């Protein structure tokens, strides 16, 4: 477990360092994800090493958003008079983005024959 | 024996109590979600947030004090994002086959998320500063804050809008996809990651491993694309 955790943190650290150094508009952990993915592709040993611990962290990914979510409660008054309008925008825009994103995925998958058969 | 107020004043200043409270609130939320068969409207994040918000308000505790304990949980967001490589690795063959739909859905979902927010906000008469704050709302928080700041928005308010967007996405995705009769887990997951970042991804992982893997990559790719698109999109509405 300690090796897996070390590897995950090392990927994050490398990601943070690289985005800052290059001024890329990607968060360090996202680049760290790409890095870990590349390492797992390159070495099955790394993959088997990191999987149990990584899946343990991911099992309760929802939990990790709770502290930031609690911060929102304190800022609800920031929405002010515009609160209702902002909420309406968020609901409509999220529904549209979900529907169009998934719809285009299915349509292009059908057109290109990129079926999911296993 | 020390009386309760003494113990409380000692504990209230200690990170332990708020770390424990965060976990307890989540365990309650997760149990409720599991009891209801992971129904979309029983969202564990939302339940935990409401419980903790009420607790902070009742005990007159500041967010700073709360965060001293909760930061240990918050910190794990970074490593968890890195760990999203794992579901993607499990699905690498499916992902390779789906490269074209992924790219098309990324472009469509990302553009819709930004442009529809700006267009509807503009129609409702929101100020240019609020539009800039709103533009990156589907993007994962660290990127959204950076985009908001560079566009002249308010990063603090963007953080709020990002979280609310994630919760909305997690709440509506299952009923919406069922109504639209979209059953492809790749499509459902990927669109969720693009529209509702990590909170949507957490929901997708709960529902189906393939949806979770595609959500993670959707979130990552959308962070990149929104950073490039948002300045141009905002320009259309100013």
The pLDDT tens digits of the residues spanning A58-81 come to: 888 889 989 988 988 777 776 777
pLDDT digits (tens, 9 = 90+) for A6-39: 999 999 999 999 988 988 777 888 899 999 999 9
Assess A52–B contact: CB distance below 8 Å, yes or no. no
Q: So what's the pLDDT on residue A77?
A: 72
Choose the final residue of a domain: B75, B100, B129.
Answer: B75
Question: From start to end of B77-226, where are the E strands?
Answer: none
Quote the ipTM score: 0.90
Those of residues 89-118 in A touching chain B at CB distance below 8 A are: 89-109, 112, 114-116, 118
Choose the final residue of a domain: B75, B104, B128.
Answer: B75
B220 in the same domain as B183 = yes
Domain of B26? Answer: 4-75
Residues of B80-96 as b/e, b for ≥16 C-beta within 10 angstroms? bbbbbbbbbbbbeebbe
B219 in the same domain as B179 = yes
B129 in the same domain as B71 = no
B108 in the same domain as B181 = yes
B124 in the same domain as B65 = no
Assess A23–B contact: CB distance below 8 Å, yes or no. no
B93 in the same domain as B55 = no
Within chain B, which residues score under 50 in pLDDT?
none
Those of residues 15-34 in B touching chain A at CB distance below 8 A are: 22-23, 25-26, 30
Q: Are A88 and B119 in contact (CB under 8 A)?
A: no
For the whole model, what pTM was predicted? 0.88
CB contact under 8 A, A97 and B138: yes
Let me know if B32 is exposed, middle or buried by CB neighbors in 10 A (0-12, 13-18, 19+): middle
The C-alpha atoms of residue B24 and residue B14 are separated, in whole angstroms, by 16
Chain A positions touching B89 (Cβ under 8 A) are 37, 40-41, 47
The C-alpha atoms of residue B216 and residue A90 are separated, in whole angstroms, by 21
B135 in the same domain as B33 = no
B43 in the same domain as B88 = no
Residue A118 has pLDDT above 50, yes or no: no
B119 in the same domain as B17 = no
pLDDT digits (tens, 9 = 90+) for B20-48: 999 999 999 999 998 988 888 888 999 99
Chain B positions touching A43 (Cβ under 8 A) are none
DSSP state of B125: T
Chain B positions touching A7 (Cβ under 8 A) are none
Mean confidence (pLDDT) of chain A: 89
Nearest CA in chain A to B109: A101
B108 in the same domain as B203 = yes
Name A103's Cβ contacts closer than 8 Å, sequence gap at least 6: B108, B180, B182, B187
What is the number of structural domains in chain B? 2
CA-nearest of A112, A75, A9, A90 to B137 is A90
Choose the final residue of a domain: B75, B104, B131.
Answer: B75
Residue A116 has pLDDT above 70, yes or no: no
Q: So what's the pLDDT on residue A105?
A: 97
Q: So what's the pLDDT on residue B213?
A: 93
The C-alpha atoms of residue B42 and residue B46 are separated, in whole angstroms, by 8
Residue A117 has pLDDT above 60, yes or no: no
Assess A42–B contact: CB distance below 8 Å, yes or no. no
B122 in the same domain as B69 = no
């Amino acid at each position: 477990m300690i090796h897996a955790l070390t590897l995950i943190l090392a990927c994050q650290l490398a990601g943070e360092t690289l985005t800052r150094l290059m001024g890329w508009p990607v968060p360090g952990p996202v680049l760290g994800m790409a890095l870990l993915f590349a390492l797992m592709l390159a070495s099955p040993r790394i993959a088997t090493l990191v999987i149990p611990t990584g899946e343990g962290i991911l099992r309760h990914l929802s939990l990790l958003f709770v502290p930031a979510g609690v911060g929102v409660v304190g800022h609800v008054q920031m929405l002010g008079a515009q609160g209702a309008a902002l909420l309406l925008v968020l609901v409509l825009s999220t529904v549209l983005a979900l529907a169009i994103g998934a719809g285009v995925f299915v349509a292009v998958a059908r057109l290109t024959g990129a079926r999911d058969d296993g | 024996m020390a009386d309760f107020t003494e113990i409380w004043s000692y504990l209230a200043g200690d990170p332990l109590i708020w770390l424990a409270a965060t976990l307890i609130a989540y365990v309650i939320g997760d149990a409720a979600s599991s009891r209801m068969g992971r129904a979309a409207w029983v969202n564990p994040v939302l339940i935990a947030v409401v419980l903790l918000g009420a607790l902070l308000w009742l005990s007159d505790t500041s967010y700073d004090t709360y965060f001293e304990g909760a930061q240990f949980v918050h910190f794990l967001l970074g490593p968890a994002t890195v760990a999203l490589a794992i579901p993607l690795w499990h699905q690498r063959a499916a992902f390779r086959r789906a490269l074209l739909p992924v790219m098309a859905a990324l472009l469509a979902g990302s553009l819709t998320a930004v442009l529809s927010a700006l267009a509807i906000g503009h129609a409702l008469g929101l100020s240019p500063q609020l539009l800039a704050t709103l533009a990156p709302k589907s993007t994962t928080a660290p990127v959204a804050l950076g985009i908001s700041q560079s566009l002249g928005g308010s990063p603090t308010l963007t953080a709020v809008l990002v979280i609310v967007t994630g919760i909305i996405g997690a709440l509506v995705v299952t009923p919406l996809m069922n109504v639209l009769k979209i059953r492809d887990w790749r499509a459902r997951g990927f669109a969720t990651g693009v529209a509702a970042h990590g909170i949507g991804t957490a929901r997708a992982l709960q529902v189906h491993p393939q949806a979770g893997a595609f959500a993670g990559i959707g979130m990552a790719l959308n962070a990149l694309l929104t950073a490039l698109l948002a300045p141009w999109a905002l320009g259309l509405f100013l």
